[in-house]
Amino acid sequence: MRGMLTVFMVTQLHLDDKAANLQYGAIQAFVYAFTFIGGVFADKILGFQKSLFWGATLMILGGLVIAFSPEKLFYIGICFSIIGTGFFKPNISTMVGQLYHENDSRRDAGFSLFYAGINLGALLGGILMVYVGKYYSWSMAFGLVAVVMVISLINFGFRRKSFGPIGLSPLAAKGVAPSRQRALEIATYVGSLLVLPLILLMVTNTRYTDLFMYIIGPATLVYLAWEMRNFTRAENRKLGAAIVFILFSILFWAFFEQSGGSLSLFALNNLHGTFLGIPMDPNAVNNSANSLFVIAFAAVIGLLWVWLSKRKLEPNSVVKFGLGFLLLAVAFYVFYATLFFADADGVTSLEIFTFGYFVITFGELCLSPIGLSFMTKLSPQPIQGLMMGMWFLASAYGQYLAGLLGAGMSSADPNASNVAKLVSYTDGYLQLGIYALVAGVVLIAISPLVRKLMHGVH
């Protein structure tokens, strides 16, 4: 669904490119910002399993609301999805981390396989969203979001026993009375529904998004500092290393998430509709190429880390992050290079564009699944949900910046030609390539310092 938000807003809600990029950034920022809140409530009250069920239920409702009237109820349905994702996304990732012992070398490979599973859904959903939405019915496309989430929830319900104690409510372990526990859970459910009007106000007015983003990040750091008083110096140094990764991930996602914003509109307006002579919708490629490549290579990369680890050759996580940025830089140079393959109408090569996604995928695989694994390695058990939420909160800031960057690359003239749009976007991609290159070099340069903070975590 994410990959078609800007296309839907431009073609159905009639926003211009700049407004759609800003709106996309706001929606995605709130989606990821609420993962921090969901992580805190999972740590303190619900546990990961109940948080996952509640989040999935809200996401189902969100899809159904939009499906009922896409043009009129789009933002209301999106608000349900924002809160639902907040309870869902960080907690299932944390549960994966808890499947492994503390020093299990298979953890990074496990997260890579988990990441491949996520992208299988993104591949199938991304293709369906494009073809059903653009060529048949937007109501049916958004309805599919609810249908497939119901299937996922049923699947998880049948497999809950295999998790044992993983993800159960922390209140029971603390000896909280069942009646008190139930009251806190109900209060969490009701409270998450009561904030819907506030979220709707903030999502539909991007100036409120700015204010929210100015507040939530510093407030989160203050809350983390309060929690850190309960841990040892070594544990807090590890948390300091995690913060370094979180800050750099903001930059990575600000660049990477052009896929749902500017790259989505670039695909809509500036790409040929054939791939190697085969008719293909450019938005379908934009929405699914990355997922296809992740599925094809995530397990390979995960097994590569295991193979290198057994031979004591595996690069540490800081270097992996640095490599992710360097590959990201190369990918944006490829997107920039599409300028040289354009025709007189400003329409360029879908093949070159797809190759850019091929490169960007390897950068993502060096960072994102490793980052998920890393948060569970560096975080003390009592705040793993919090730290996973902070990892996704960094994504929120990345999404927010992605919207601002995409809006900045958009042509100021809403009636601009395809040629003008092509030049405007590709010039922006060249700049992003330079910034990613600098970030990668800096990260690799400071890797010895960060490794000291990690206290042996590889």
pLDDT digits over 248-258, tens only?
888 888 888 88
Residue 322 has pLDDT above 70, yes or no: yes
In this structure, how many other beta carbons lie within 10 angstroms of the beta carbon of residue 175?
Answer: 6
Q: Give Cα 15 distance to the centre of its chain.
A: 24
pLDDT value at position 334? 93
8-30, pLDDT tens digit by residue?
888 888 888 888 878 888 888 88
Over residues 131-144, mean pLDDT: 89
pLDDT value at position 412? 59
Q: Are the CB atoms for 267 and 354 separated by under 8 Å? A: no
Q: What pTM does this model have?
A: 0.75
Residue 105 has pLDDT above 80, yes or no: no
Residue 413 has pLDDT above 70, yes or no: no
pLDDT band at 420 (very low <50, low <70, confident <90, very high): confident
pLDDT value at position 411? 66
Expressed as residue numbers, the domain containing 418 is: 2-454
425-451, pLDDT tens digit by residue?
888 999 999 999 999 999 888 888 877
Residue 229 has pLDDT above 70, yes or no: yes
pLDDT value at position 30? 84
Residue identified by tokens 């490794």 is 451
Over residues 145-149, mean pLDDT: 89
Which two three-digit tokens encode residue 294?
Answer: 């992740």
Closest-CA residue to 391 (of 159, 44, 161, 97): 97
Residue 458 has pLDDT above 60, yes or no: no
pLDDT value at position 358? 93
Q: Are the CB atoms for 98 and 256 separated by under 8 Å? A: no
pLDDT value at position 457? 62
HEC string for the chain:
CHHHHHHHHHHCCCCCHHHHHHHHHHHHHHHHHHHHHHHHHHHHHHHHHHHHHHHHHHHHHHHHHHHHCHHHHHHHHHHHHHHHHHHHHHHHHHHHHCCCCCCCCCHHHHHHHHHHHHHHHHHHHHHHHHHHHHHCCHHHHHHHHHHHHHHHHHHHHHHHHHHCCCCCCHHHHCCCCHHHHHHHHHHHHHHHHHCHHHHHHHHHCHHHHHHHHHHHHHHHHHHHHHHHCCCCHHHHHHHHHHHHHHHHHHHHHHHHHHHCCHHHHHHHHHECCEECCEECCHHHHHHHHHHHHHHHHHHHHHHHHHHHHHCCCCCCHHHHHHHHHHHHHHHHHHHHHHHHHCCCCCCECHHHHHHHHHHHHHHHHHHHHHHHHHHHHHCCHHHHHHHHHHHHHHHHHHHHHHHHHHHHHCCCCCCCCHHHHHHHHHHHHHHHHHHHHHHHHHHHHCHHHHHHHHCCCC
For the chain, how many structural domains are there in total? 1
Closest-CA residue to 447 (of 324, 306, 312, 304): 324
Distance from C-alpha of 78 to C-alpha of 99, rounded to nearest angstrom: 32
User: What's the mean pLDDT when you consider all of the chain?
Assistant: 83
Distance from C-alpha of 273 to C-alpha of 285, rounded to nearest angstrom: 10
pLDDT value at position 414? 66
Q: Are the CB atoms for 167 and 49 separated by under 8 Å? A: yes
327-366, pLDDT tens digit by residue?
999 999 999 999 999 888 888 899 999 999 999 988 888 8
pLDDT band at 235 (very low <50, low <70, confident <90, very high): confident
Residue identified by tokens 């740590």 is 43
Residue 351 sits in a domain whose CATH number is: 1.20.1250.20
Residue 246 has pLDDT above 70, yes or no: yes
pLDDT value at position 167? 65
pLDDT value at position 300? 82
Distance from C-alpha of 288 to C-alpha of 306, rounded to nearest angstrom: 28
> In the chain, pLDDT over 70 holds for what percent of residues?
95
161-212, pLDDT tens digit by residue?
787 777 677 776 677 777 877 888 888 889 889 988 988 888 887 777 778 7
Give, in order, the Cα–Cα distances in Å from 295 to each of 115, 128, 300, 383, 426. Answer: 8, 17, 9, 30, 28
255-268, pLDDT tens digit by residue?
888 887 888 888 88
Residue 383 has pLDDT above 90, yes or no: no
pLDDT value at position 126? 82
More confident residue, 379 or 344: 344
22-75, pLDDT tens digit by residue?
888 888 888 877 877 777 787 778 777 788 888 899 999 999 999 999 989 999
Residue 282 has pLDDT above 80, yes or no: yes
